[in-house]
Amino acid sequence: MNTLQKVEQLKKCIDKERPFEGHMLTQLRAYYRIGLTYSSNALEGNTHTITETKVLLEDGLTVGGKPLRETYEVLGHAEAYDFMFSLYQNKEISIEDIKTLHRLFYQSIDENNAGVWRQVPIIVTGTDYAFPSPEAVDAQMLGLEAWIKSERDSYHPVDFAALLHLKFVSIHPFIDGNGRVSRLLMNLALIQSGYLLAIVPPICRMEYLNAIRTYQLRGNPNPFREHITERVLESEREVMRLFHIPMPKRETDLDR
């Protein structure tokens, strides 16, 4: 049984408990608001721990000695996360949605470039991949929007979410914050299709980045798709543990 089949098995168990409503839904959203904000920022070098992220978001208490930018990254990501969840009942993702995600994340860091396509070339440390020129960004993002509309139903939802992340981050349309927006986009696609979030823990940073580079330099999306599928599976196991949802006795139980 492959990882995607395991995801589907556990999804069936979780779906029996849906819809998540009231206090359960509030708890779940708050839990991942902290978890995704912490992990996504940590992947980019933000030094807030998960506890410090929780205190900042829930109690409004800043951490002494932390750079102001890091505080803005935590607060901005949480705002973008809230917007992401406001779109979960849709089955569409537009350029305007993408710009809004970035603007909410980035507005306190650099208001002039928040939600605006980059106007300068970029080089990303650690890869030889040549990102599109600034002049090509708008056309490539329009192409991505068209791909979302026309090809979404051609893929398994988890594969689609992973490919959306890869395609977006390979365009790198903003001056900064592309990694965080790519993970928000990926998770938006997942929750719109009824799947749990894919949380990439900082300990998996090199595996995650290497999988992205394999796509960018070799055109092979499979390592990244498998990595994201594993992350969704881990979220399913976590939710089943948190809400005391029984695990299948054997992996094949739900296939009967």
Residue 252: pLDDT over 60: no
Give me the active site residues, please: 172
Q: Does position 11 have pLDDT exceeding 70, yes or no?
A: yes
CB contact set of 62 (below 8 Å; sequence gap of 6+): 56, 71
Q: Are 142 and 123 in contact (CB under 8 A)?
A: no
Q: What is the mean pLDDT of the chain?
A: 93
Which residue type is seen at 67? P
pTM over 0.85: yes
Domains of the chain: 3-246 (1.10.3290.10)
Interatomic CA distance for residues 59 and 92, integer angstroms: 34
Residue 253 has pLDDT above 80, yes or no: no
Query: Is residue 227 within 8 Å of 205, Cβ to Cβ?
Result: no
State residue 62's pLDDT score: 93
